[in-house]
Structure 1
Amino acid sequence: MGVGDDLENQMTTKHHRGIGSRGGDQDLLGPSPRPVVPLVYSEFSDDELAPQWTSWLIPLFVVANVIVFIVTMFINNCPKNSESHDPKQKCVARFLGRLSFEHLRNNPLFGPSSLTLEKLGSLDWYRVVEKHQAWRLLTCIWLHAGVIHLATNMLSIVFIGTRLEQQFGFVKIGWIYVMSGMGGSILSSLFIRNGISVGASGALFGLLGSMLSELITNWTIYSNKIAAFLTLLVVIVINLAIGILPYVDNFAHVGGFLTGFLLGFVLLARPQIRWFAREHMPQGRRISKYKPYQYILWLLSLALLVLGFVVASVLLFKGEDGNDHCHWCRYLRCIPTSRWSCDSV
């Protein structure tokens, strides 16, 4: 169940800013995400410990993202509003009319121009902080830089989100998705000032992080937990490692992952097994619904989550540059090698 995440493709705008496409990088470098080793409950039936919900929110998210992309392409109207003045750089798939794509030199992901994405709500530090357009922290997670970007993100949502929604319901998973997307946007804006970024990578990494914390907080009820934990850990490490490539918004990945990881402890804890058998216990014996370590993780995670959002938001809207407070953090986004430089990132 890997998240194919966000090879952020930078396209030059009239203001020399790049587009970061969050949520599709690994898509170009590796296979689509696949489910982690299924977890098996140790003593009780699936219906007792995990009543199945009907997954409708995740499909709705997919439909919403597709509709937003179609509207974006319609507004982009490449044949009429192409940002390129070179007659040789014609729109791609012109038979689509207004929905045709920008020239691949401007957008290699088969999508709209950077100017269109800016107009519709892409993440841009200057507009968020200086122009007080905080709504971009949310709108950017519904925009996508191209068909490739959109398709890989939607596959990730389906593979990861469907299983979670079936087991925990749409309310909890909806909160994790949206809050993780916001967490990724805040951390990205705090550290990146020279580009615009779009995509659902923060939300996707949040779902992935919540799967890890759900496994940890419900550790005692699973039988094949070691295999699932190792598989999930490898998937997370690989996806975060891909984020160090140039033009990948890894701060959105990290911010979304941390948000989802903490929310998993808060929202996805399951009652201990003895609580399900409380009616068979001797009369007068009280059984706590959750284990002590689950309560501790719940309180600690909630405190860290609130503190993290408050501190990051205050620093962001005060105009602070996160790189001034964490000099090594720039390597989370790009590590220079003999093959590429990180100067323009």
Structure 2
Amino acid sequence: MSTDPSPAPGPDTPVPSCYRHPGRETYVRCTRCDRYICPECMRDAAVGHQCVECVAEGQKGVRQARTVLGARASGSQTPVVTYTLIGLCVLAYLGEVASEQVVREFMMLGLGAMQGGTLVGVAEGEWYRLLTSMFLHQPPQSGGFGLTHILFNMWALWAIGPQLEQLLGRWRFLALYMLSGLGGSVLLYLVDPFDAAVGASGAIFGLFAAYFVIGRKLGGQVGPIVFLLVLNLVITFAVPSISWEGHIGGLATGAVLAVAYAYAPKARRQLVHVAASAAVLVLLVALVLVKTSELMSGVS
């Protein structure tokens, strides 16, 4: 702590005050800039105290610790993106339970006809279906997998999401999830645009692929994820009601992004990550535009 070495002020000597709060008397000075600081402006330093501005200036030269994949390292970081995605899926499911209209309005459908012959779907300009479908799951009243569908997907997201989010950072993890889900919707649109589908499975398969790729890169144990992936692929092709396009599309998209994220050269890591994410998005959008043009020319 640095204090004013001069004797106590006399009757005509002004009392020193904080440089940020002129009305507050103080005899403590910043060990870096030597300005007077009050208790509110004091920040503990290696020796004595520093003011707010000097601490901020000093932190500019401190290199932020990062994970091997470029994310900010923070052992206590809450997986906000993972929990938010789970919350959105649960809210969407509650909406489905309340009204079947939610599924009809937001499920993945390339082109189809509603009652009265009205055409709906992605080809009719309802682009949002490519994304909203990944937050929907089969409601109980529809039969089929029902509650099991969302339970498995949310369990998978909860099990591997936090680890991937911590390694990748929030924006990379969100890009991986959303683009993988979009990749599943796009492959379904390309292969069978007249089929409908819901589910986060495409995004989940993308996370499976990323977990495997990143695990191999870091020398981790990938046996459990390989078993889980193979088991789900068997189920995908063994059960007729499952959209294999959504699963394979998400798997392929997630694998491509994971390779870019994991193997980007350190010197250009941020640039490669951003460029890879943007390139995948542009490619998926271009495929949708080409398919839409093809479908609409056939309709007209």
Q: Same fold, TM exceeding 0.5?
A: yes
Partner of 2:128: 135
1:69-80 aligned at under 5 Å gives the runs: 69-76=93-100
Partner of 2:253: 259
Q: Do structure 1's residue 152 and structure 2's residue 132 form an aligned pair? A: no
Match of 2:225 among 206, 224, 232: 232
Please state whether the residue corresponding to 1:133 is helix, strand or coil: coil
Partner of 2:109: 124
What CA distance in whole angstroms lies between the structure 2 residues aligned with 1:137 and 1:170? 22
After superposition, give the CA deviation of every residue in 1:279-302 in whole Å (9 maximum; x if it has no partner): xxxxxxxxx7369xx99x979967
Task: Report deviation, 1:47.
Answer: 8.7
Task: Report deviation, 1:239.
Answer: 1.7
Q: Which has the higher contact order (CA 8 A, sep 6+)?
A: 1
Partner of 1:242: 235
- Structure 2 stretches of 5 or more lacking a match? 1-64, 112-119, 140-146
What CA distance in whole angstroms lies between the structure 2 residues aligned with 1:59 and 1:307? 27
Contact 1:55–1:169 (Cα < 8 Å) also in 2? no
Please state whether the residue corresponding to 1:199 is helix, strand or coil: coil
After superposition, give the CA deviation of every residue in 1:71-129 in whole Å (9 maximum; x if it has no partner): 222234xxxxxxxxxxxxxxxxxxxxxxxxxxxxxxxxxxxxxx55112x101111334
What CA distance in whole angstroms lies between the structure 2 residues aligned with 1:139 and 1:264? 23
- Structure 1 stretches of 5 or more lacking a match? 1-45, 77-114, 271-287, 322-345
* TM-score relative to the length of structure 2: 0.60
Contact 1:266–1:301 (Cα < 8 Å) also in 2? yes
Partner of 1:55: 79
What CA distance in whole angstroms lies between the structure 1 residues aligned with 2:257 and 2:194? 30
What CA distance in whole angstroms lies between the structure 2 residues aligned with 1:300 and 1:68? 32
Please state whether the residue corresponding to 1:72 is helix, strand or coil: helix
Task: Report deviation, 1:206.
Answer: 1.0
What CA distance in whole angstroms lies between the structure 2 residues aligned with 1:153 and 1:207? 11
Identity of counterpart residues, as a percentage?
24
Aligned letter for 2:266? K
Contact 1:177–1:206 (Cα < 8 Å) also in 2? yes
What CA distance in whole angstroms lies between the structure 2 residues aligned with 1:300 and 1:310? 15
Aligned letter for 1:153? N
Partner of 1:316: 291
Aligned letter for 2:233? L
What CA distance in whole angstroms lies between the structure 2 residues aligned with 1:130 and 1:141? 18
What CA distance in whole angstroms lies between the structure 2 residues aligned with 1:259 and 1:136? 18
* TM-score relative to the length of structure 1: 0.53
C-alpha distance 303-140 of structure 1, shift in aligned 2 (>3 A): closer
Task: Report deviation, 1:149.
Answer: 1.6
What CA distance in whole angstroms lies between the structure 2 residues aligned with 1:68 and 1:230? 33
Please state whether the residue corresponding to 2:127 is helix, strand or coil: coil
Contact 1:186–1:255 (Cα < 8 Å) also in 2? yes
Contact 1:125–1:193 (Cα < 8 Å) also in 2? yes
Larger of the two Rg values belongs to structure = 2
Contact 1:168–1:268 (Cα < 8 Å) also in 2? no
Task: Report deviation, 1:310.
Answer: 5.0
Q: Do structure 1's residue 65 and structure 2's residue 89 form an aligned pair? A: yes
